[in-house]
């Protein structure tokens, strides 16, 4: 035989009443919740690239805007300069890998340089 | 919202949440219609006070909106996540309420008419239950509320609270005993003079 605890019986009765409570969100609460949702969702949009702004605007946004573009331009010019006029250390490194050093100057630094010499061999 | 008004009919909550994060204009309305009633009901049962429950419900939904971009569909169900958030928000409020008894102001409003008296008694019991929950340790209060006020199964409570089923059983058993003892001291004012539930 099982003894029931009257205090727990009362509690079970109160639990049952609590479960039966019906609560419907009123219009004001729904409006507040939807306003919050709109505000939060609006904060998501700057992350997305606007398709109407075109390819270049999208690319600019993707790489981080003008400051990033400035850095990119500097790096590009520096790379071009190193390619055109390599420092000695770079030239040495090239020679050690390729076994021979071939240097072609784009600048006519020698006043006696004549294209005819190359043609005549 | 009827089923025909739901442009996401048949689509799981988690997928609608991802649509919300992607900027869908209907997703918030659909999720609010699906989830807010249950969120508000859970908060009302734990807090015994509709105004406080509405604040908690709004807060829980804001947290849902904010975490939408980070939602991983393979981790948890939206409903499970919300049960946890609401339970935590409610125990935060119950903790602040400890020591303050709010029953007196409710009982004073009895006006003698039977239906109003019965209504007020139900309100008084709900408030007394909430005040008693406030006296329990947070985890016990959450487990008892999920089990006995929401009717959630022990395995699901284990998932919600991120503990073992055995721990849930222990928490609910101890919590219920403690609640019964706390409520026993108030049974006369709650209409349980004869030790028999009505």
User: Which pLDDT tens digit goes with each residue over B137-175?
Assistant: 999 999 999 999 999 999 999 999 999 999 999 999 999
Q: Assign B115 a pLDDT band (cuts: 50, 70, 90).
A: confident
How far apart are the C-alpha atoms of B184 and B176, rounded to whole Å? Answer: 12
Angle formed by the axes of helices B114-135 and A6-20, to 10°?
Answer: 110
Residue B184 confidence (pLDDT) above 90? no
Q: How far is B180 from chain A (nearest CA, A)?
A: 5
Give the least confident one: A15-19, A57-61, B56-60, B118-122. Answer: A57-61
Maximum mean pLDDT: which of A34-38, A66-70, A115-119, B6-10: A34-38
Q: What is residue B121's predicted lDDT score, i.e. its pLDDT?
A: 83
Q: Assign B120 a pLDDT band (cuts: 50, 70, 90).
A: confident
Maximum mean pLDDT: which of A36-50, B62-76, B113-127, B171-185: B171-185
CB pairs under 8 A between A and B: 113
Q: How far is B28 from chain A (nearest CA, A)?
A: 6
- Residue B32: its chain A contacts at CB < 8 A? 30, 33-34, 37
Q: Assign B110 a pLDDT band (cuts: 50, 70, 90).
A: very low
Q: Assign B89 a pLDDT band (cuts: 50, 70, 90).
A: very high
Give the closest of A18, A30, A44 to B32, CB-based.
A30
- Give me the count of residues in chain A: 121
How many other CB atoms sit within 10 Å of the CB of residue B46?
A: 31
Higher pLDDT, A15 or B72: A15
- Residue B184: its chain A contacts at CB < 8 A? 7, 10
Q: What is residue B101's predicted lDDT score, i.e. its pLDDT?
A: 52
Give the least confident one: A32-46, A87-101, B82-96, B182-196. Answer: A87-101
Whether residue A33 and residue B32 make contact (CB cut-off 8 A), yes or no, is yes
Higher pLDDT, B85 or A110: B85
Unique residue bearing structure tokens 């109407």: A52
Give the closest of A10, A23, A25 to B192, CB-based.
A10
Chain B residue at shortest CA distance from A38? B28
Instruction: Give the global pTM.
Output: 0.69
Give the closest of B21, B129, B176 to A44, CB-based.
B21
Instruction: Provide mean pLDDT across the span B124-148.
Output: 94
Higher pLDDT, B190 or A33: A33
Q: How far is A30 from chain B (nearest CA, A)?
A: 7
Helical residues (DSSP H) of chain B, grouped into ranges: 13-21, 27-47, 50-67, 78-97, 103-107, 114-135, 138-144, 154-161, 165-184
How far apart are the C-alpha atoms of A45 and B22, rounded to whole Å? Answer: 8
Residue B4 confidence (pLDDT) above 70? no
- Residue A51: its chain B contacts at CB < 8 A? none
Q: What is residue B56's predicted lDDT score, i.e. its pLDDT?
A: 98
Task: Single out the residue of B150, B23, B13, B161 nearest to residue B79, CA to CA.
Answer: B13
Q: How far is B163 from chain A (nearest CA, A)?
A: 24
Residue A86 confidence (pLDDT) above 60? no
Largest Cα–Cα separation, chain B: 59
Higher pLDDT, B75 or A101: B75
Chain A residues with at least one Cβ partner in B under 8 Å: 5-15, 17-19, 21-25, 29-30, 32-34, 36-38, 40-41, 44-45, 48
Q: What is residue B106's predicted lDDT score, i.e. its pLDDT?
A: 41
Q: What is residue A94's predicted lDDT score, i.e. its pLDDT?
A: 53
């Amino acid at each position: 035989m099982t003894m029931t605890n009257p205090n727990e019986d009362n509690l079970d009765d109160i639990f049952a009443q609590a479960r039966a409570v019906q609560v419907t969100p009123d219009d004001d609460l729904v409006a507040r919740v939807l306003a919050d949702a709109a505000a939060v969702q609006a904060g998501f949009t700057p992350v997305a690239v606007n398709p109407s702004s075109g390819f270049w605007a999208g690319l600019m946004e993707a790489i981080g805007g003008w400051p990033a573009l400035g850095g990119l331009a500097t790096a590009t010019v520096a790379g071009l300069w190193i390619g055109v006029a390599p420092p000695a250390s770079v030239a040495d490194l090239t020679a050690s890998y390729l076994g021979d050093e071939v240097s072609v100057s784009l600048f006519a630094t020698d006043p006696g340089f004549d294209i005819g010499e190359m043609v005549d061999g | 919202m009827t089923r025909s008004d739901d442009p996401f009919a048949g689509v799981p909550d988690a997928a609608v949440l991802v649509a919300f994060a992607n900027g869908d204009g209907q997703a918030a309305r659909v999720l609010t219609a699906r989830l807010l009633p249950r969120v508000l009901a859970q908060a009302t049962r734990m807090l015994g006070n509709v105004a406080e429950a509405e604040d908690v419900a709004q807060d829980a939904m804001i947290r849902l909106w904010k975490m939408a971009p980070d939602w991983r569909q393979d981790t948890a169900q939206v409903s499970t996540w919300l049960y946890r958030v609401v339970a935590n928000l409610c125990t935060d409020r119950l903790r602040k309420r400890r020591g303050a008894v709010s029953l007196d102001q409710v009982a004073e409003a009895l006006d003698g008419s039977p239906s109003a008296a019965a209504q007020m008694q139900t309100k008084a019991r709900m408030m007394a239950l909430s005040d008693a929950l406030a006296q329990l340790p947070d985890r016990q209060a959450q487990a008892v509320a999920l089990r006995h006020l929401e009717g959630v199964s022990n395995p699901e409570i284990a998932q919600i609270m991120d503990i073992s089923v055995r721990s849930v059983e222990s928490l609910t058993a101890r919590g219920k005993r403690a609640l019964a003892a706390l409520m026993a001291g108030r049974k006369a004012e709650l209409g349980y003079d004869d030790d028999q539930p009505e």
